[in-house]
Amino acid sequence: MYVYQQLSAKILFVELRASNRQMTCRHCLADRSVELSGTGRGNMNQADPRVRRTRKLLQQALVDLLAEKSFHSINVQEVVERATVNRATFYAHFPDKYALLDYVVGEWFREALTRAGLGGTQFNELNLRKLISTVLTVVRTFHGGCRPGDRDVQPMLETKLQAVLAEFLEDWLGGASATPGAAAKLVSWTIFGSAMEWARESEAEDLDARVDQILGFVLNGMGALAPRGQRIAAAS
């Protein structure tokens, strides 16, 4: 998807704040058909503080390297040296550097939703509006930042972000839809697809106007996914 050009601590795909320091993504993840790092390796306990600490070290190492060079020029040895861990430790967590990048993107996006005040909230129209505005702002801000040499890796970033958005929505919509999985897919593709289109427009319409447009479409679409009995009752 997008690659960012500010060089002070970089992380894939958008601004990330960690330890009160802003990190901006520079490099994009290669297009792959399988999510590589969402569940970790083997039976590793994701809640184990040691696992979390190691992943944080690896994540920060990649971020720092991205501030210095392109993603394609980074290798696993450089990551482990920067993180002060060994290669066996790296491969216990991630199969390759693409999986680490995939993990970084997913973690960033989850943290971005939390920073927007959406963590632990319930579905309602106000929060949905905030979610749409957040996604539009992120995509618009960083669209087009990918360097020519890294553009071949954009599709995976797009897929990853949309998948994390759908995951968030499925949990969020659990009490608001009889079919949260289907509703989450509909809403995530509607929001993310519209954000991509809006970001590509040279003279894009006002943010609030686009948010209103997406919000209406999403709410109507969710109504169509309601059980038939509920739709009949609402229409009568």
Strands (E), the chain: 16-18, 21-23
Write the CB contacts of 42 (distance below 8 Å, at least 6 apart in sequence).
92
More confident of the two residues 195 and 16 = 195
Give all strands (DSSP E) within 10-165, no chain letters: 16-18, 21-23
Domains of the chain, start order = 16-235 (1.10.357.10)
For the stretch 87-126, pLDDT in tens is 999 999 999 999 998 898 888 888 889 999 998 898 889 9
The residue-averaged pLDDT of 27-32 equals: 38
Q: What is the pLDDT of residue 229?
A: 40
pTM over 0.75: no
- Say yes or no to pLDDT of 148 above 70: no
Q: From CA 213, how far away is CA 112, in angstroms rounded?
A: 23
